[in-house]
């Protein structure tokens, strides 16, 4: 069943208050009426991006303001940890968007675009990134929308998070470092720094280590920026999988 997004809404509050008739945003209304050609009585799913999913029936498939009736509500329990990955935007923005899409499928909590000493891209449109994660959330039928933070200078981010536990930095060199899977603590919030194509500068690495960030390896393979960020997401997600 198709999933639609209602930004700025808490479906649980609406449902409990008995407000079961709601109007979809213009973009979602047009998709219902003009793309899918749905009819009155057709079912669809809605999410507010904060854990609630409801099944609704179309009442009026108006392409500008589609009216639906909420029929049932399911609240998905939030993960006990919040994974934040700070990753430098890639020169080819399509590669960065690929990471956003896949990380959303894994259930990442927050993506922080960071500008580094060696960054090839020093400007990024967060509005476009938000559209990518919304589309990925809907496609994967998830009920949680990742946060796209405002871009920030890496040094400022490091200083802001100095001394916090479960903060890591990964970079490329020949020196042995513990693998992320061996020192990341399951069940706790985590922040992982991933550098640009030119990697972190010695100054940035020194600042991170002096601020309490733990150096980690992601394995023996030399990974591109977006691949390293996704590998980090996968590792933390796997560490937090319940044992059957």
Task: Please check whether residues 10 and 57 belong to one and the same domain.
Answer: yes
Beta strands in the chain (DSSP E): 3-5, 21-23, 43-47, 52-60, 67-75, 83-87, 110-115, 147-148, 152-153, 167-170, 190-194, 214-216
- Are residues 195 and 216 in contact, defined by beta-carbon separation less than 8 angstroms? no
Pick from 52, 75, 98: which residue ends a domain?
A: 75
Total domains in the fold of the chain: 2
Mean pLDDT, the chain, as a whole number?
94
Which range marks the domain in which residue 37 is found? Answer: 3-75
CATH number, domain of 230, equals: 3.40.1280.10
Q: What is the pTM of this model?
A: 0.92
Question: Is position 214 within any domain?
Answer: yes
Count of C-beta atoms within a 10 Å radius of residue 79: 15
Task: Please check whether residues 42 and 109 belong to one and the same domain.
Answer: no
pLDDT (0 to 100) of residue 85? 98
Task: Please check whether residues 135 and 22 belong to one and the same domain.
Answer: no
Task: Please check whether residues 54 and 157 belong to one and the same domain.
Answer: no
Pick from 38, 57, 75: which residue ends a domain?
A: 75
pLDDT at 117 over 70: yes
Question: Is position 244 within any domain?
Answer: no
pLDDT (mean) for 9-16: 92
Task: Please check whether residues 57 and 125 belong to one and the same domain.
Answer: no
Among 45-59, 112-126, 153-167, the least confident range: 112-126
Task: Please check whether residues 56 and 131 belong to one and the same domain.
Answer: no
Task: Please check whether residues 164 and 209 belong to one and the same domain.
Answer: yes
pLDDT digits (tens, 9 = 90+) for 175-212: 889 999 999 999 999 999 999 998 999 999 999 999 99
Question: Is position 44 within any domain?
Answer: yes
Pick from 75, 99, 121: which residue ends a domain?
A: 75
Task: Please check whether residues 150 and 222 belong to one and the same domain.
Answer: yes
Beta strands in 147-228 (DSSP E): 147-148, 152-153, 167-170, 190-194, 214-216
Task: Please check whether residues 117 and 204 belong to one and the same domain.
Answer: yes
Question: Is position 68 within any domain?
Answer: yes
pLDDT digits (tens, 9 = 90+) for 59-104: 999 999 999 999 999 999 999 999 999 999 999 999 999 999 999 9
CATH number, domain of 13, equals: 2.40.240.20
pLDDT at 105 over 80: yes
pLDDT digits (tens, 9 = 90+) for 234-244: 999 999 987 65
Percent with pLDDT over 70 in the chain: 99
pLDDT (0 to 100) of residue 244? 57
Task: Please check whether residues 220 and 128 belong to one and the same domain.
Answer: yes
Question: Is position 69 within any domain?
Answer: yes
Task: Please check whether residues 130 and 176 belong to one and the same domain.
Answer: yes
Closest CA to 225 of 86, 129, 123: 86
Task: Please check whether residues 116 and 63 belong to one and the same domain.
Answer: no
Question: Is position 218 within any domain?
Answer: yes
């Amino acid at each position: 069943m198709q999933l639609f997004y209602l930004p700025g809404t808490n479906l649980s509050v609406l449902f409990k208050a008995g407000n079961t008739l709601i109007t979809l945003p213009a973009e979602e209304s047009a998709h219902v009426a003009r793309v899918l050609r749905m009819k009155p009585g057709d079912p669809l799913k809605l999410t507010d991006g904060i854990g609630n999913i409801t099944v609704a029936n179309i009442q009026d498939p108006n392409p500008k303001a589609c009216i639906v009736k909420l029929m049932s509500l399911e609240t998905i329990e939030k993960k006990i940890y919040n994974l934040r990955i700070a990753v430098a935007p890639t020169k080819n923005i399509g590669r960065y968007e690929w990471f956003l899409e896949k990380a959303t499928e894994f259930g990442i909590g927050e993506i922080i675009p960071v500008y580094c000493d060696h960054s090839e891209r020093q400007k990024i449109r967060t509005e476009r990134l938000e559209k990518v994660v919304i589309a990925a959330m809907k496609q994967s039928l998830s009920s949680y929308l990742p946060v796209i933070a405002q871009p920030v200078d890496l040094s400022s981010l490091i200083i802001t998070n100095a001394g916090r536990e479960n903060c890591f930095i990964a970079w490329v060199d020949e020196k042995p470092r513990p693998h992320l899977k061996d020192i990341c603590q399951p069940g706790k919030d985590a922040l992982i720094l991933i550098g640009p194509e030119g990697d972190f500068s010695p100054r940035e690495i020194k600042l991170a280590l002096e601020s309490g960030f733990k150096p980690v390896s992601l394995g023996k393979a030399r990974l591109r920026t977006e691949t390293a960020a996704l590998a980090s997401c996968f590792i933390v997600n796997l560490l937090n999988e319940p044992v059957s």
